[in-house]
């Protein structure tokens, strides 16, 4: 067994003390619940299971099989976007050293490009891209990581959760039968 960290974004609950007790009793004692600034409720899990995917599916089952009326609407992994300073901290380098990699003064010259806020004084890089670069060129620089959720699993589980939410709001849409015929959900 190994431990996997992930977030479940929830709908349908207020996050009362009663609901928190229900989740705890349902086996979610490995989760921390929080209300975000935008009003959404998030459950942060550190769950042990045979696979990361099994951990997520068990957590979804535990949340939704309670009488707390919670629905999981999205699964996410830890935030992936970092500043250059955060990259430096994560790989045990100075900010100046990372800056030299970013500008091609050191290294191979192909350090990943920022994924957000390009052109700003504080752009953001994808940790997945940066980690992959370090694993290729300087593997000792990146900390060891445990099992991770596969990108395909994450995409498919979120697609299914999204479709389930859409079906909740328009179960008898007049176009659904034609859509199911044109794009069946079987392979």
Query: Which tens digits make up the pLDDT trace of 94-129?
Result: 999 999 999 889 888 899 998 888 888 888 888 888
Q: What is the 3-state secondary structure (H, E, C) of the chain?
A: CEEEEEEEEEECCCCCHHHHHHHHHCCCCCEEEEECCCCCEEEEEEEEECCHHHHHHHHHHHHHCCCCCCEEEEEECCCCEECHHHHHHHHCCCHHHHHHHHCCCCCCCCCCCCCECCCCCCCEEEHHHHHHHHHHHCHHHCCCCCCCCCHHHHHHHHHHHHHHHHHHHCCCCCCHHHHHHHCCCCC
pTM of the predicted model as reported, rounded to 2 decimal places: 0.70
> What pLDDT is recorded for position 141?
85
CA angle 111, 113, 118 (to 5 degrees): 145
> What pLDDT is recorded for position 78?
64
Burial class from Cβ neighbours inside 10 Å (0-12, 13-18, 19+) for residue 108 reads exposed
> What pLDDT is recorded for position 42?
92
Query: Which tens digits make up the pLDDT trace of 54-102?
Result: 999 999 999 999 988 899 999 988 667 789 999 999 899 999 999 999 9
Report the pLDDT averaged over residues 43-48: 93
Percentage above 90 pLDDT, the chain: 52
The domain locations on the chain are: 2-77+148-182, 81-141
> What pLDDT is recorded for position 79?
60
Residue in 80, 148, 147 with CA at minimum distance from that of residue 116: 80
Query: Which tens digits make up the pLDDT trace of 3-42?
Result: 888 999 999 998 999 999 999 999 999 999 998 888 889 9
- CATH fold, domain 2-77+148-182, is Alpha-Beta Plaits (3.30.70)
């Amino acid at each position: 067994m190994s431990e996997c960290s992930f977030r479940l974004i929830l709908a349908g609950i207020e996050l009362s003390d009663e609901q928190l007790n229900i989740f705890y009793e349902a086996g979610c004692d490995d989760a921390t619940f929080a209300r975000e600034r935008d009003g959404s409720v998030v459950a942060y899990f550190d769950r042990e299971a045979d696979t990361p995917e099994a951990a997520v599916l068990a957590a979804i089952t535990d949340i939704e099989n309670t009488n707390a009326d919670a629905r999981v609407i999205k699964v996410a992994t830890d935030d992936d976007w970092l500043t250059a300073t955060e990259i430096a901290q994560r790989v045990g380098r100075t900010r100046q050293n990372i800056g030299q990699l970013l500008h091609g003064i050191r290294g191979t010259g192909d350090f990943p490009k920022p994924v957000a806020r390009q052109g700003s004084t504080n752009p953001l890089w994808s940790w997945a891209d940066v980690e992959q670069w370090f694993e290729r060129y300087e593997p000792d620089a990146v900390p060891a990581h445990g099992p991770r959720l596969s990108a395909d699993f994450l995409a498919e589980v979120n697609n299914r959760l999204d479709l389930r939410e859409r079906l909740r709001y328009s179960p008898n849409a007049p176009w659904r039968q034609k859509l199911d015929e044109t794009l069946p959900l079987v392979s």
